[in-house]
């Protein structure tokens, strides 16, 4: 088990060195490490800390790097696990957009596998929502009712979903990579001892191996990784919002609703939800927004955010910000986009007076269309921009708002 350099193949050409995200590969003199070779003087060595990510395999022209995995057997009886599940996240009784996106994608996966598509819906008074899920393509809805499930709380949600998975044995479980999904999916996976892939942006089925290929960005979107869960079931994944298309509603789609009630007494509940506060400065939340207009240090002061807000309002979008604007105290942290803020992927991202530092880019570079408004033609933001507007934002942004108002009426 582990990673190995094939001594007599490696020429010490150093092509692999740059590929390791952890900088673990070094080229050393063969003599020094006691591995002489008639032709080559140097050899690659791999330092401690390798996590077997495989990024170095491809760059080597000679296949001199090998990752050996122990011959493994399934750790559970895989044939017992069937069907695709979608966790239907609800807030205040309303199904969240990401659930419909997962239904759309889940339908494809289920059809490919020739299996059923089911939803898990936890809440209180969710009859209407359950029917809505059937109309959006679910073959079955597990509707679990209980006042303890009305609002999300980690403990009871973990208990209910884990128990249901253990009982019904689905092959695949998809959840939104939302605050809720990312908070408790990991607990469920840890309890079941199965694999969980985070924040996927692409899903596919390898029919031969009957495996889910889960592709996700890592290193802040600088690399993509395809992850599998070969020996355990279910294969669990959280999926990024706004990546997949929502399922289309078909009124005549039939499905079965399995309704159960849980008694709060049998579930653990160690946290107490005291209050839910809406951030009033925020018209539309960043995760849900199709359009985001962001402002940076180029705005010069807090009062100037009003031109950003007006543009956002005109477009029905949300307001984002760079860290520089947040750190200056011009706008609350909840608006910050980037590595230490939120990751967003709207249809349109308009960056105004933002230079495009890598920590900002990693939070927004997967947006469909990026518009950059900046007076510096060399600002790095232009490198990722679909449309670049070089100019003074105090002129361009109001002109844009005005034009949109004319066009959109």
Ligand X SMILES: Cc1cc2nc3c(=O)[nH]c(=O)nc-3n(C[C@H](O)[C@H](O)[C@H](O)COP(=O)(O)OP(=O)(O)OC[C@H]3O[C@@H](n4cnc5c(N)ncnc54)[C@H](O)[C@@H]3O)c2cc1C
Binding residues for ligand SF4, rule: CB under 6 A, are 3, 5, 10-16, 19-20, 22, 24-25, 44, 46, 50-56, 59-60, 62, 64-65
Q: Is 322 a binder of ligand X (CB under 6 A)?
A: yes
**Beta-bridge partner residues of 348:** 291, 369
**Beta-bridge partner residues of 1:** none
94 binds, among other proteins, ligand SF4, ligand X, none (CB under 5 to 8 A by kind): none
CB of 26 to ligand X, least distance (A): 20
The 3-state DSSP class for residue 369 equals strand
> 64 or 293: whose CB is closer to ligand SF4?
64
Phi, psi of 105 (to 5 degrees): -70, -40
CB of 195 to ligand X, least distance (A): 6
Q: Is 302 in contact with 274 (CB distance < 8 Å)?
A: no
**How would you class 364 by CB atoms within 10 Å of its CB: exposed for 0-12, middle for 13-18, buried for 19 or more?**
buried
64 binds, among ligand X, ligand SF4, other proteins, none (CB under 5 to 8 A by kind): ligand SF4
Nearest alpha carbon to residue 350 among 380, 373, 334: 373
User: Binding residue for ligand X (CB under 6 A) from 83, 255, 317, 363?
Assistant: 363
In total, the chain counts a number of residues equal to: 409
For Cα atoms 31, 37, 43, give the angle at the middle one, nearest 5 degrees: 60
Nearest alpha carbon to residue 89 among 77, 81, 97: 97
> 36 or 316: whose CB is closer to other proteins?
316
Helices (H), 78-122: 97-113
Q: Is 67 a binder of ligand X (CB under 6 A)?
A: no
Q: Count CB atoms within 10 A of the CB of residue 368.
A: 12
60 binds, among ligand X, other proteins, ligand SF4, none (CB under 5 to 8 A by kind): ligand SF4
> 233 or 323: whose CB is closer to ligand X?
323
> 219 or 248: whose CB is closer to other proteins?
219
Residues at the site binding ligand X, with contacts judged by CB under 6 A: 51, 53, 196-198, 216, 218, 225, 227, 296-298, 322-325, 336-341, 353-355, 357, 359-360, 363, 373-376, 379, 392-394
């Amino acid at each position: 088990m582990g990673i190995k350099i094939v001594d007599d193949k490696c020429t010490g050409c150093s092509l692999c060195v740059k590929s390791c995200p952890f900088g673990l590969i070094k080229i050393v003199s063969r003599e020094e490490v006691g591995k002489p070779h008639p032709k080559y003087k140097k050899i690659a060595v791999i330092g401690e800390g390798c996590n077997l990510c495989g990024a170095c395999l491809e760059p080597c022209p000679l296949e001199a790097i090998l990752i050996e995995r122990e011959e493994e057997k399934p750790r559970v009886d895989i044939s017992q696990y069937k069907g695709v599940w979608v966790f239907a996240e609800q807030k205040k009784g309303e199904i969240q957009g990401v659930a419909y996106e997962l239904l759309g994608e889940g339908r494809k996966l289920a059809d490919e596998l020739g299996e059923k598509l089911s939803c898990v819906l936890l809440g209180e008074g969710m009859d209407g929502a359950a029917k809505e899920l059937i109309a959006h393509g679910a073959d079955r809805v597990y509707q679990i009712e209980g006042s303890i499930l009305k609002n999300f709380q980690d403990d009871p949600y973990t208990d209910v979903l884990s128990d249901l998975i253990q009982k019904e044995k689905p092959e695949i479980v998809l959840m939104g990579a939302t605050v809720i999904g990312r908070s408790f999916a990991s607990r469920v996976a840890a309890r079941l001892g199965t694999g969980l892939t985070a924040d996927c942006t692409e899903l596919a089925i390898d029919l031969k191996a009957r495996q889910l290929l889960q592709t996700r960005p890592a290193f802040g979107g600088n690399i993509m990784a395809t992850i599998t869960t070969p020996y355990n079931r279910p294969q669990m994944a959280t999926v990024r919002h706004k990546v997949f298309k929502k399922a289309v509603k078909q009124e005549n789609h039939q499905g079965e609703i399995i309704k159960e009630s849980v008694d709060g007494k049998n579930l653990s509940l160690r946290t107490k939800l005291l209050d839910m506060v809406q951030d009033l400065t925020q018209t539309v939340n960043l995760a849900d927004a199709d359009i985001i207009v962001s402002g940076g240090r180029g705005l010069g002061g807090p009062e100037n955010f009003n031109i950003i807000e007006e543009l956002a309002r005109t477009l029905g979008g949300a307001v984002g910000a760079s860290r520089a604007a947040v750190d200056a105290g011009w706008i609350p942290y909840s608006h910050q986009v980037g590595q230490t803020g939120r990751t967003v992927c709207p249809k349109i991202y308009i960056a105004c007076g933002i230079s495009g530092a890598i920590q900002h880019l990693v939070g927004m570079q997967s947006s469909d269309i990026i518009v950059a408004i900046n007076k510096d033609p060399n600002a790095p933001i232009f490198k990722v921009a679909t449309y670049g507007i070089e100019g003074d934002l105090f002129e361009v942004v109001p002109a844009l708002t005005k034009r949109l108002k004319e066009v959109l009426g």
